[in-house]
């Protein structure tokens, strides 16, 4: 079983977004040997090799490697950085296989903000290693990462959905950044049509994440919440998704496809949307903060991009950013849990978070860094949109606990069916309500 997991890791790391670096050296991933389950962990000492799974969206992998190497040099240990699938959905499936088998191949896991309830049992309590430093991180994230009294992960960066726009194009066409979805739709269409008439037939109005995966749940919860349609399941566990505002939200989004949004969006995750926007072929893009540093580093787009809160659903609606973000957790199957925890404390420290904020526009989880002048100069919207970040809308992972992934899966499938023209929004949400009620005995037993 253990051998199988190691092989799986190697294949998975490369099939789902291996860096060139790793592709050239396949032996670098998961080279640690495994011991039987139940082997007592070693006491901390230098000279260990710690394997860490890092994301590879934007500059994630590069920044993770740099900071992990810095720690390795300082402590006399080695690190083995393993890139994992870009899609949160694929990454969860991989983690579940590795952790479910009790494999020690990965010591440190980069986990999504929605996973503590799903994976928390497999991680050690970091409180014994944190020396209370968690008090400087956002309280809500610490609470989110605390499962049955255990701090199962340290916050690394937080995320909120944002609207990116081409400042130069809006100025050229005399338009303002939109504050409602209706304004966005009109402005996108107007500029798209004018730019196409002027010769850029590849221009689109609005790109986002429409593939059937966790990212679609994030996009769609933003539409639904912005229309006042709730968060699928409320804090008490009641399924609320079948409501007229949610129907209107999905109808609005379905109306974009083929008009201001390419049909291909049904296959876009974050990086595909960014690819279209960064090659200059979209007026607006919904994405996470990391896309800012990427655009600023691109000669064609530098200083041409603006960032605002996502539009409201209408006069009674609100601006809604989905709450995202990633944490670092130590596997309880690790052979070096203390050393791995030391790496986690280094990577989540103020110094490393500051560096990542400046270089990669990854949002810190330490409030103080939002007042840091170097951070604000590199990424001004961290200050301007601070309220958007702290009021970001959580997905219902706390209310639905270990069933969250099933709930999200049903939700993105229902949304996808509407976006692709297969099922009208009202029918899709009616069926979804029924499925989620069945799954939870009417919202009483998650
Ligand atoms: C970002 C968010 C994460 C979310 C994912 C969906 O990585 O930080 O929370 O689940 O996008 O694609």
- Considering the domain boundaries, does residue 374 fall inside one? yes
CA dihedral 205, 208, 212, 216 (to 10 degrees): -130
SS3 46: coil
pLDDT one-digit tens code per residue, 221-248: 999 999 999 999 999 999 999 999 999 9
Counting the structural domains of the chain, the total is: 2
What spatial distance separates the first Cα and last Cα of the chain, rounded to whole Å?
31
**199 and 340 share a domain?**
no
Q: At which of 373, 390, 407 does a domain end?
A: 390
| Ligand 1 centroid to residue 249 C-alpha, Å | 21
Q: How confident is the model at residue 45 (pLDDT cuts 50, 70, 90)?
A: low
Q: How confident is the model at residue 44 (pLDDT cuts 50, 70, 90)?
A: low
**317 and 334 share a domain?**
no
**115 and 166 share a domain?**
no
pLDDT one-digit tens code per residue, 315-334: 779 999 999 999 999 999 99
pLDDT(220) > 70: yes
Could you list the residue range(s) of the whole structural domain that residue 213 is in? 162-322
**99 and 186 share a domain?**
no
Tell me which residue has its CA closest to atom 4 in ligand 1. 324
| Ligand 1 centroid to residue 158 C-alpha, Å | 9
**235 and 258 share a domain?**
yes
Q: At which of 305, 322, 339 does a domain end?
A: 322
Show the beta-strand stretches assigned E in 182-322: 204-207, 282-287, 305-308
- Considering the domain boundaries, does residue 420 fall inside one? no
Residue where the block lists tokens 């008439």: 197
Cβ proximity of 168 and 177 under 8 Å: no
**137 and 194 share a domain?**
no
Q: How confident is the model at residue 37 (pLDDT cuts 50, 70, 90)?
A: very low
- Considering the domain boundaries, does residue 437 fall inside one? no
| Ligand 1 centroid to residue 34 C-alpha, Å | 30
Tell me phi and psi for residue 36, to 5 degrees: -70, 155
- 366 Cβ partners below 8 Å, 6+ apart? 136, 137, 138, 350, 353
Q: Is 66 exposed, middle or buried (0-12, 13-18, 19+ CB in 10 A)?
A: middle
pLDDT at 153: 98
**b/e code 394-424 from CB counts within 10 Å (16+ = b):** bbbbbbbbebbbebbebbbbbbbbbbeeebe
**260 and 344 share a domain?**
no
Q: How confident is the model at residue 46 (pLDDT cuts 50, 70, 90)?
A: confident
- Considering the domain boundaries, does residue 417 fall inside one? no
Cβ proximity of 324 and 245 under 8 Å: no
**339 and 294 share a domain?**
no
Domain CATH number, residue 244:
3.40.190.10
| Ligand 1 centroid to residue 161 C-alpha, Å | 9
Task: Provide the angle, in degrees to the nearest 10, between the axes of the packed helices 214-226 and 404-419.
Answer: 70
**Rounded-to-integer distance, Cα 282 and Cα 434, Å:** 38
**132 and 73 share a domain?**
yes
Computed from CA positions of residues 242, 255, 261, 192, in that sequence, does the dihedral angle turn out positive or negative? negative
pLDDT(150) > 70: yes
Hey, what are 202's tokens? Answer: 């590849």
- 112: Cβ below 6 Å to ligand 1? yes
DSSP state of 236: T
Q: At which of 322, 346, 366 does a domain end?
A: 322
- Considering the domain boundaries, does residue 232 fall inside one? yes
How, if at all, do strands 323-330 and 108-112 pair? antiparallel
**11 and 131 share a domain?**
yes
Tell me which residue has its CA closest to atom 2 in ligand 1. 324
**Rounded-to-integer distance, Cα 229 and Cα 124, Å:** 37
- Considering the domain boundaries, does residue 219 fall inside one? yes
- Considering the domain boundaries, does residue 399 fall inside one? no
**283 and 357 share a domain?**
no
| Ligand 1 centroid to residue 214 C-alpha, Å | 7
| Ligand 1 centroid to residue 43 C-alpha, Å | 35
> Which of 159, 364, 411 for mutating ligand 1's site (highest number of atoms within 8 Å of CB)?
159
- 325: Cβ below 6 Å to ligand 1? yes
**297 and 194 share a domain?**
yes
**Which numbered atom of ligand 1 lies nearest the CA of 270?**
12
- Considering the domain boundaries, does residue 11 fall inside one? yes
């Amino acid at each position: 079983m253990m051998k199988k997991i190691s092989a799986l890791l190697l294949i998975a790391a490369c099939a789902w977004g291996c860096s060139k670096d790793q592709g050239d050296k396949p032996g670098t991933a998961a080279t640690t040997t495994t011991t039987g389950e139940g082997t007592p962990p070693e006491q901390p000492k230098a000279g260990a090799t710690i394997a860490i799974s890092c994301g590879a969206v934007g500059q994630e992998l590069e920044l993770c490697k740099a900071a992990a190497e810095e720690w390795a040099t300082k402590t006399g240990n080695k690190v083995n950085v393993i890139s994992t699938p870009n899609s949160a959905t694929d990454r969860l499936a991989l983690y579940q296989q590795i952790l479910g088998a009790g494999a020690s191949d990965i010591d440190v896991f980069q986990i999504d903000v929605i996973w503590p309830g799903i994976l928390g049992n497999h991680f050690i309590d970091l409180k014994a290693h944190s020396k209370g430093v968690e008090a400087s991180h956002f309280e809500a994230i610490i609470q989110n990462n605390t499962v049955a009294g255990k701090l199962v992960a340290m916050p690394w960066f937080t995320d909120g959905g944002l609207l990116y726009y081409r400042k130069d194009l809006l100025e050229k066409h005399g338009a303002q950044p939109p504050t409602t979805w209706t304004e966005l739709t009109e402005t996108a269409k107007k500029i798209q049509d004018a730019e196409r008439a002027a010769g850029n037939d590849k221009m689109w109005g609005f790109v986002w994440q429409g593939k059937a995966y966790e990212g679609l749940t994030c996009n769609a919860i933003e539409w639904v919440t912005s229309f006042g349609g709730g968060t699928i399941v409320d804090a008490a566990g009641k399924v609320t998704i079948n409501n007229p505002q949610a129907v209107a939200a999905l109808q609005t989004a379905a109306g974009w496809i083929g008009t201001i949004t390419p049909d291909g969006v049904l296959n876009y995750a974050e990086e595909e949307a960014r690819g279209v926007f960064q090659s200059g072929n979209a007026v607006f893009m919904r994405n996470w903060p990391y896309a800012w540093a990427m655009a600023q580093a691109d000669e064609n787009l530098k200083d041409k991009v603006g960032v605002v809160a996502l539009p409201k659903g209408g006069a009674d609606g609100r601006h809604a950013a989905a709450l995202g973000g990633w944490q670092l957790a130590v596997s309880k199957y690790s052979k070096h849990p203390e050393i791995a925890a030391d790496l986690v404390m280094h990577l989540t420290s103020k110094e490393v978070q500051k560096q990542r904020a400046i270089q990669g526009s990854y949002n810190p989880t330490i409030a103080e860094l939002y007042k840091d002048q170097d951070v604000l100069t590199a990424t001004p919207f961290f200050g301007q949109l601070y309220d958007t970040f702290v009021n970001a809308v959580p997905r219902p992972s706390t209310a639905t606990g270990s069933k969250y992934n099933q709930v999200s899966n049903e939700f993105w499938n229902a949304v996808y069916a509407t976006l692709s023209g297969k099922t009208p929004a009202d029918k899709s949400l009616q069926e979804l309500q029924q499925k989620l009620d069945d799954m939870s005995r009417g919202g009483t037993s998650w």
